[in-house]
Structure 1
Amino acid sequence: MPDASRPALPPELITLFATVRRHFHEVIVPMWQGPGWNSELALPYESLDAHHVPLPPQRYRAMACARQLYVFASLIGEVPQAEERASALFRSLQRHFHDAEHGGWFYSIDPQGAPLDTGKDLYTHAFILFACAHYWDKVREPLVESVLNAALEVIARRFATGDGLYEASLGRDWSTLESGPLQNPLMHLAEAFLATLSVREDAHVQQALSSLCDGMLKRFIEPTLGVMMEKPLKSVDNWFEPGHQFEWYYLLASSPLLRDGKLRKALERSFEYSEQRGVDRKSGAVCAMLSLEPHAAPRDATQRIWAQAEYLRALTLRADGQQALLPQLKALQQHFLHAKGWNECLDADGIVSRRDMPSTTPYHLMTCYLGLADCLA
């Protein structure tokens, strides 16, 4: 719902957003309906080059399959054959990656479809849960909800550590790898819990989400600045990423369950700090990695399209972010989008440093554009 207390949005922003969204529908989506689709395995190739030729496949990841399932499930009713593609991706998720012996899902298969990395990681399982929640919301098929339930069950039974958090990775047979919890998979698990709660009432998931946020506040939030660290506090060689600050901010601020919680208040407190140190005021570029030392140079000054998208999405929920929406959308369009797709990464000087286009990136653009659409509605 638009906020009546906010100033009217400039018509130029609405026009530019229509252009950017048309680019997504007319350029990016067809890449993965056509050249990016391996019809033999019924899976997306991991990446396309600048001419839309698949890079020689080294592997296929369950996470990439799940992200594409989310995208095409979200496009059902908008894009021709989106429902057929979502159905094929859902079947492939089970056919190629489900571990019939130990339960859960493999990380990856090789180019011939045989299991490759058979470890079990939380990041993959979180995206499977996230994608199935969105897909089930569109099709309401019992089999989809059964996979959703299986993902919830295995996450709670196998990955949970008992303090509201979850192991980042386990062996194929669920043996411990002593990985401990890590920020990024936990963030996507929170996202998956929110997706589940958006499509059905679930007291167990709601409690798990609340406990997860409590655990993040205790073990990952740097108490002085309020920034979310990538590894638990006191870990050796720790850092924070502006893109993840903005991604967490959106998840928390957009949720009626979480927006008044302590974790949201911490990220609210650190938002300006993340902007100050992580966003170039002239170009709008979001750098990749920062240390806590206030005057240190970025640990990694690479500019990644997903971080740009997350910053833009976060701005839609900030009263003081409205005036930045137009320049940031321009920055995304001018520096990252082009006639044949997108630039995945720019270096510190804004020069393209990675020209291939991974199958996982449309997920970030989709979530960003849906956030913008809600803001502009």
Structure 2
Amino acid sequence: MNSAASGTASPLAAADSAASWLRDAAWPLWLEHGVDWARGGFCESLDLQTLQSPAQFRRLRVVARQVFVFSHAHAAGLPRAGDAVELGITFLRDKARAADGGYAQRFALDGAVISDHRDLYDHAFVLLALSSASRLLPAAPLRQEALALLQYLDSQFPHALGGYLESLPPALPRRQNPHMHLLEACLAASEAFGDAIFLQRAGDIVRLFLDRFLDQTHGTLPEFFDEALRPLRENGLYLVEPGHHCEWVWLLDWYQQLAAGKGVADTSTIAGANRGLMSFVDRFGINPQLGTLYDEVVVSGDVHGYGSRLWPQTERLKAEILRPDASPAKIQAAFAALDRYLTPAPRGLWHERLDQTGHASVEPAPASSLYHLTAGIVVSQQHLAKGTVPA
């Protein structure tokens, strides 16, 4: 995927190139080396040279994310991708789901439960996996499991002051991030199954974002909160992740599209929030030397984490296309930034981090990042192909 690196490719051509990289390189490589077909699980990561996974455990979120990934690979016609989706759903049903309706967090390589901790973030991805699998597996049982999971969260995780608990047992700080992914999962479930409850819960989370998470004064999104959803500050400042700004722009737009005509979406408020989020990213979130998003800044605009992980670059693809003031130049810049992680790496893999000068890490490529790559590339290509945004 190097057509975007020069900055001369059109946004649609850059998206098509990225989609070809997924279809022809990344998905086939991870199907061959990232699925533990013998033991019925997914590898946590792959070494860039040996293609072996060093991890001696499995995580619930990786199982769920890989179901999402391979459901898209199946839709693109990749052999065995459907088998990988079925493997993941079988893992969720037979090894991860407990009798009370919750899902364990961590497993040995044979599937035995290591940690029965219940995490909101992980459960959001289980809901996304169930929704994604409905593209190819019988929808009726998946729908029932999705409804049961949402009922479990509603009954076991609600917080009296708004939103959901972080985990069972409860933990601090409270975060916007698990709620963000639960919004994503509810939107996917609404599309997959059609039950009104999923869009209702999505609306609840959007209102929580607008009323409690978003700092209306600065147009920014704090990451961490106290028990009462007040931003956690150090010396009067709180942390901001530009990648999450971008992710919310995509999700708020998606919610608006699904809620259109139902009288539940405040279009002007959402558009204003998206403009504020991306204005902050434009001013403070981009490394001027590399064109990549920083990992962390503080609300004042000062950089807190000078590195640039892969995943924020994938979220930026969607946001640059869907932002109210989208432009071809900004979309091209987002694809060029992503290319810094892909082209130098072995084909089908990536460098997970760049330092502030552009030096790449050589750590194993995490499977969890394939979710971000798949979502960012697929969504951006779909929107650009519609011709409703700059091409």
Query: Do Structure 1 and Structure 2 share a fold, with TM-score over 0.5?
Result: yes
| Aligned positions of 1:11-90 closer than 5 A | 12-77=10-75, 78-90=77-89
> Aligned residue for 1:229?
222
For 1:333, give the aligned amino acid: D
Distance 2:151 2:297 in 1: 36
> Aligned residue for 1:4?
none
Distance 1:342 1:88 in 2: 25
For 2:196, give the aligned amino acid: A
Q: Structure 1 residues 195, 261: closer, same or farther in 2, change over 3 A?
A: farther
Q: Provide the alpha-carbon RMSD of the alignment.
A: 2.2
Q: Structure 1 residues 12, 216: closer, same or farther in 2, change over 3 A?
A: closer
Distance 1:33 1:52 in 2: 15
Post-superposition offset of 1:323 = 1.9
State the Cα deviation string for residues 30-54 of structure 1 (Å, max 9, x = none): 2221122222321111011112432
Taking CA–CA contacts closer than 8 Å with sequence separation of 6 or more, which of the two structures ends up with the larger relative contact order?
Answer: 2
Whether the aligned pair in 2 keeps the contact of 1:31 and 1:52 (CA below 8 Å) is no
> Aligned residue for 2:284?
277
Q: Structure 1 residues 264, 96: closer, same or farther in 2, change over 3 A?
A: farther
Q: Is structure 2 residue 336 aligned with structure 1 residue 330?
A: yes
* Unaligned 5+ runs, structure 1: 1-9, 172-176
> Aligned residue for 1:6?
none
> Aligned residue for 2:304?
299
Whether the aligned pair in 2 keeps the contact of 1:220 and 1:231 (CA below 8 Å) is no
> Aligned residue for 1:346?
354
> Aligned residue for 1:187?
180
| Aligned positions of 1:106-255 closer than 5 A | 106-171=104-169, 177-179=170-172, 181-232=174-225, 233-237=230-234, 238-255=238-255
State the Cα deviation string for residues 215-245 of structure 1 (Å, max 9, x = none): 2223221231121111233424431100000
For 1:299, give the aligned amino acid: H
Percent sequence identity over matched residues?
Answer: 25
Whether the aligned pair in 2 keeps the contact of 1:27 and 1:339 (CA below 8 Å) is no
Q: Structure 1 residues 193, 285: closer, same or farther in 2, change over 3 A?
A: same
Distance 2:28 2:79 in 1: 10
Whether the aligned pair in 2 keeps the contact of 1:73 and 1:86 (CA below 8 Å) is yes
The alignment partner of 2:291 has SS state of: coil
Distance 2:175 2:280 in 1: 22
Q: Structure 1 residues 261, 165: closer, same or farther in 2, change over 3 A?
A: farther
Post-superposition offset of 1:19 = 2.5
Distance 1:261 1:134 in 2: 30
The alignment partner of 1:50 has SS state of: coil
Post-superposition offset of 1:261 = 6.0
* Unaligned 5+ runs, structure 2: 1-7, 260-264, 386-391
Distance 2:139 2:209 in 1: 34
State the Cα deviation string for residues 155-188 of structure 1 (Å, max 9, x = none): 11111224551011113xxxxx243631110100
Whether the aligned pair in 2 keeps the contact of 1:133 and 1:148 (CA below 8 Å) is yes
Greater shift after overlay, 278-287 or 199-208? 199-208
> Aligned residue for 1:290?
297
Post-superposition offset of 1:15 = 3.3
- Normalising by structure 2, we get a TM-score of 0.86
Pick the aligned partner of 2:318 from 298, 313, 328: 313
Aligned length: 361
Distance 1:300 1:352 in 2: 15
The alignment partner of 2:361 has SS state of: strand
